[in-house]
Amino acid sequence: MKIVKNRVNTFLIAILFIGLVHSIFGQEIQYTTERNIHYYDESINQSDIYIKERCVLDIYYPKNSKNFSTIVWFHGGGLTGGEKNIPRVLMKQGVCVVAVNYRLYPRVKAPVYIEDGAAAVSWVFNNIETYGGNSSLIFVSGHSAGGYLASMIGLDKSYLNKHKIDANNIAGLIPFSGHTITHFTVREEMGIPGTQPIIDNFAPLYHVRADAPPLLLITGDRELELLGRYEENAYLMRMMKVIGHTETKIYEMDGYGHGMTAPAFPLLLKEVERISKRNRE
């Protein structure tokens, strides 16, 4: 089996912007943002001040559009820091973007931040149609720690099962430079150094399966990335193919290190456009 690997240059990235949707039936799309929506029930919010503080999301959506796709975006920060944000490059692209905060180490430990991410994704499934979105066109993405969360939520079905959501209903998983082995912060919690890789229940690689949603892995240049981040993702790609998954791809961003989000966003949008078009047909 030949491993398919794509090296992406900035010229191709510029081309990928062409053709993205900016209007509907000749009308300019109008966008609005609602901020700090709690994704846990009020009883849970009131039970813990840290949950009430951190477990919130922002939703940016085209308010005069219907049946739109949604990107759930998890911020990076090593599971120890970071703040939700709506990436500017994803604005005014005809899609909804949901930016999520989650609880952080050391105030919580694994799997709490994964559980928070799953609760946020389940909120989107249960509520996006009230905003005009299509619940069958929900994509999960994020950078670094956020990419790790996206992969864990989409590959380990147990987290969404707790909310009666089938992870296979995610339209696509698109992690940016996410760990596919056990995250280094989870290893730190176990007293394991960050240079010692392990694959256990907290590793996306542990949960490879043929029936997972389409998976697009994007990393920085293998010579510029953190430790073996590209190689981790290449191994996940290989094992997904070995197990029979037919929609796993990997892109390596030539010349970019771990902070490769800006040139990777067009790839995210192109994948959302591709799958959304197919699923609507």
Distance CA 64, CA 183 (A): 40
Q: Which of 247, 249, 162, 148 is nearest to 207 (CA)?
A: 148
What is residue 9's predicted lDDT score, i.e. its pLDDT? 60
What is residue 281's predicted lDDT score, i.e. its pLDDT? 85
HSE-up (13 A, CA, CB side) for residue 72 = 34
For residue 96, the enclosing domain spans 6-280
Instruction: Please indicate, yes or no, if residue 1 is contained in any of the structural domains.
Output: no
Read off the pTM.
0.92
pLDDT in tens, 214-225: 999 999 999 999
Residue 144's domain is classified under what CATH number? 3.40.50.1820
Instruction: Please indicate, yes or no, if residue 120 is contained in any of the structural domains.
Output: yes
Distance CA 178, CA 218 (A): 8
Q: Which of 71, 135, 133 is nearest to 268 (CA)?
A: 71
What is residue 7's predicted lDDT score, i.e. its pLDDT? 62
Q: Which residues of the chain have pLDDT under 70?
A: 1-26
* Length of the chain measured in residues: 281
If one counts the domains in the chain, the total is 1
- With H, G, I as helix, E, B as strand and everything else as coil, classify residue 138: strand
What is residue 25's predicted lDDT score, i.e. its pLDDT? 46
Distance CA 173, CA 176 (A): 10
Distance CA 21, CA 274 (A): 12
